[in-house]
Chains A and B, each alone.
Chain A
Amino acid sequence: MAPATRLRINAVHKAYGRRRVLCGADFTVSAGMLAGVVGENGSGKSTLLRIAVGQLAPDHGTVQRFSTLGYCPQQSVVNDTLTVTQHLRLFQVAYRLPDLRHAWDLVDVLGFHADRRTRAGELSGGTRQKLNLTLALMHDPPLLVLDEPYQGFDWDTHQRFWQLAGQLRSQGRSLVVVSHLLHDLQHFDTIHHLRDSRLHTEATTR
């Protein structure tokens, strides 16, 4: 039996004024798939992801989501006056989680447990991004949409992220990851290259 579809984007168009960003983008993500979205700066990768998660409306086309999801935006969206623990508490309420065990496990995996009482405004850029990523993963959703989630990570944490991504895929989670890095391409099952407002699917070495 074919794996279940988690996300389907069909013939999506998006323009900002006269500037066309997406022109008939098609994109399907199945269970247990790690999909990469690549492209030059300003090619529309973040726009595509924001449309995929429902933060932005397409001008034309359809977006179908078949599961709950977690979204990690490109820029860290955190409140500088609140600590790491306070962020987790807020999102625990938002996601209606009975406890924060999984969230603290992620904090341990990403290696910023020592900063749990530090305000986001005082965290380093990399640690802010770790918090940003944790907020997207902490409810363990079947579909993850991650927009350059490892910006500012040191090499060890970068490696740990890909280990975590591999574990999630093996558990049947679906991941969509925007990446700029050539050496990340080996991790992807499919690569979608956004070029001239169109999405081209490319072969992978996996």
Chain B
Amino acid sequence: MKHQWTAFGVAFGLTLTGHLRNRLAMAMIAFFIPTWIYLVRATALNKNITFHTSTLGIHVTASMNRTIQVSSALHAVTVIAGFMMFMATFSARNMDQRLVLAGYPRLQLLAAKIATLLVITALLTGYCTVLLELSWPLTQPWAVAAALAAAILAYGGLGVMAGFLLRGELEGFFVVVMATLIDVGMQSPVSNPAGDQAGLEALPLFGPAQAALAAAFTDTATFSCAVRALPWFTATSIMAVLIFCARTRHYHRLTAARTDDSVGAGVQRSACGRRGSAVCTEEGQQVADRPPQDL
């Protein structure tokens, strides 16, 4: 049990270190989010619009300028979270494969990635909520934060999945940018005033966008609306686990090993390989309490 905690702790610390060394992401957090919110605040039309939030069943009347600020904040945090998680997963995936083959526990390696996503979610959410709060007093800042957090988790999970699935950095970057662009555009009451198209509710930002907008301007309870993004987080995380396990499979992992030249006492034989014709065998003396150290 102690080793498993050590494995999680080391992987978590070094995954977080990798995120902090992603200079582009750090620069985007420091400059891109406040600049975007400021530019919208300075330039967008400041007249009232009324829009309908279908999940809460209410009509909201709010400044178009502030509405776009909320949508822009959602867009900024989802792009950054998706990009950070994609880059961290993509750049480490071959190394992860080597680590698992060397005996690193898979579960701890993956749990560390998800734990860092939770840390990033907390930090990005707090930062972005403060920036919006500085722009104008939000009606329910905690509810806006919850909506932002749900959106970050959904796109962070998507980033992890894309990091295991896609072949190139550019592909991943485009997937994250285009997905958030379409999603935010479809959920924004300014760019899509009707907001009643079929399938809209299946998009990751459907719940968080409506929750964030309602919480920013009304007293309506929005938590149940925000959590509609969590199935996306769960589904993408499960997909990431499955892809990771498929990529790091062993074809004949050593479960019994002889570590010196003495004659092995036991013989273990196990079938392996994707195709039935491949049979790999391992023979040797059992080494107690020692995990396989294949590579």
Contacts and interface: CB of A to CB of B under 8 A. Distances in A.
User: Is B truly associated with A?
Assistant: yes
Interface of A: 3-4, 31, 51, 53-71, 73, 77-82, 86, 89-91, 93-96, 119, 135-136, 139, 141-142, 172
A31 B282 CA distance: 16
10 contacts: A62-B279, A65-B254, A66-B257, A81-B21, A90-B14, A93-B6, A93-B7, A93-B10, A96-B290, A142-B260
Contact of B3 (A66, A81, A96): A96
Nearest to A53: B295
A56 B11 CA distance: 26
Given A69-B295, A89-B10, A142-B259, A95 B264 contact: no
B40 to A, nearest CB: 33
Interface stretch (B97-105, B139-147, B204-212, B220-228): B97-105
A82 B18 contact: yes
User: B-side binding surface: helix, strand, loop or mixed?
Assistant: loop
A68 B294 contact: yes
Given A63-B280, A79-B95, A90 B104 contact: yes
Given A68-B259, A80-B91, A63 B99 contact: no
Contact of A54 (B98, B101, B283, B290): B101
Contacts of A70: 295
Contacts of B3: 93, 96
A95 B98 CA distance: 12
Contact of B273 (A58, A73, A172): A58
A77 B94 contact: yes
A79 B113 CA distance: 15
A52 B275 CA distance: 17
A82 B14 contact: yes
Interface of B: 3, 6-7, 10-11, 14, 17-18, 21-22, 91-92, 94-95, 97-99, 101-104, 250-254, 257-261, 263-264, 272-275, 277-284, 290-295
A82 B284 CA distance: 36
B293 to A, nearest CB: 5
A149 B252 CA distance: 23
A96 B257 contact: no
Contacts of A31: 261
A36 to B, nearest CB: 20
Given A57-B275, A142-B261, 7 more contacts: A55-B251, A64-B281, A64-B283, A66-B258, A67-B284, A81-B17, A93-B6
Contacts of B259: 67-68, 142
Given A79-B91, A81-B91, A95-B293, A54 B250 contact: yes
Contacts of A95: 102-103, 293
B95 A68 contact: no
Given A89-B14, A93-B6, A54 B252 contact: yes
B251 to A, nearest CB: 4
Given A54-B294, A93-B7, A86 B14 contact: yes
Given A54-B294, A67-B284, A81-B91, A93 B104 contact: yes
A85 B61 CA distance: 56
B92 A63 contact: no
B281 to A, nearest CB: 5
A83 to B, nearest CB: 9
B102 A57 contact: no
B220 to A, nearest CB: 43
A10 B278 CA distance: 11
B119 to A, nearest CB: 16
A91 to B, nearest CB: 6
Contacts of B282: 64-66
A19 B17 CA distance: 43
B204 to A, nearest CB: 27
Interface centre among A59, A93, A96, A135 (most CB of B within 10 A): A93
